[in-house]
Amino acid sequence: MIVLALPGAAALAADLAGRLACPWSQLATHRFPDGESLVRIDAPVQDRCVVLVGSLDHPDGKTLPLLFAADAARELGAERVGLVAPYLAYMRQDMRFHPGEAVTSRSYARLLSGALDFLVTVDPHLHRWHALGDIYSIRTQAVAAAPAIARWLRDQVPQPLLVGPDAESAQWIAHVAHLCSSPWTVMEKTRSGDREVRVAFAPDNDWTGRTPVLLDDVVSTGGTMVAAVRAIAAAGLGPPVCVATHALLDDEALDALRDAGATRFVSCDSVPHSSNAIALGPLLADAVRALARPSTSSR
């Protein structure tokens, strides 16, 4: 086995390779003046299982190098080619909301399935799709970040009260709460557009002495979490700690969270971000070990 780091993923690749006790190499990339790109694999891959590593935030610029690398690895004799993408893009467009729209979660799944033998990701947005296998035709594993998040909460937050941003998050929030033996509740969310969010929160218990912990799987604009922080303050609870699996937000959104009253924002290291505090490496390594083995469904 060999791990190949996609652009921006050297730290994750090195950590994963160390846990898998295998070599790793950085994929060489070059962009030409006309906008085309070139990738080069500088490590021997013949007869090896090649594990490409890199999150797919800002996916439009990352997907072509990924596909080129997978194809090059096959041409160079790789036995199997897999991808560890802790954040998997295009999962939120899971139906045709307006006539003529592409169902991009399904389109993207077809694209990656045609290039790879297996896929490992973390807490993908599974709402209308029940499992990755609904749209991916390759071996997949959706790693749950819940154990890592629960461990961090047990160590870092006294008497946590876990709060989810909407009813959709209830099952996930309940799982984390069970793992760290904490109470939990969810808010009511109404979204109107990409950035306009309304959140209602009416606690039905006395949570005196508890530290509110806002949990969400993906934080991008930060609008939902900012509204949730304000709702917690309006309900008379203390300033919350905010936790996300995937931090896609910029500095402006991070400042907005702090201004709204959040004491801290932390994330899993699925996407490189200044808030990374929760390591996913052990969980990812276990998933790769399980999927990298040949199976009757492999290419």
DSSP letters, 126-153, are: -SSSSSGGGT--SEEEEE--HHHHHHHH
**Domains of the chain by start residue, with CATH:** 2-143+280-292 (3.40.50.2020), 146-268 (3.40.50.2020)
Q: Are 117 and 81 in contact (CB under 8 A)?
A: yes
Q: Which of 74, 139, 189, 210 is catalytic?
A: 189
- Tell me the C-alpha distance between 142 and 226, whole Å: 28
Q: Does 241 score more than 90 pLDDT?
A: yes
Q: Provide mean pLDDT across the span 221-249.
A: 93
- Tell me the C-alpha distance between 217 and 223, whole Å: 14
The values of phi and psi at residue 242, to 5°, are -110, 135
Residue 189 a catalytic site member: yes
Q: Does 195 score more than 80 pLDDT?
A: no
Give the tokens for residue 201: 């929160």
Band of the pLDDT at 210, cuts 50, 70, 90? very high
Least confident of 2-11, 62-71, 117-126, 161-170: 161-170
pLDDT at 93: 81
pLDDT at 69: 98
pLDDT tens-digit map of 48-106? 999 999 999 999 999 999 999 999 999 999 999 999 999 999 998 887 888 998 889 99
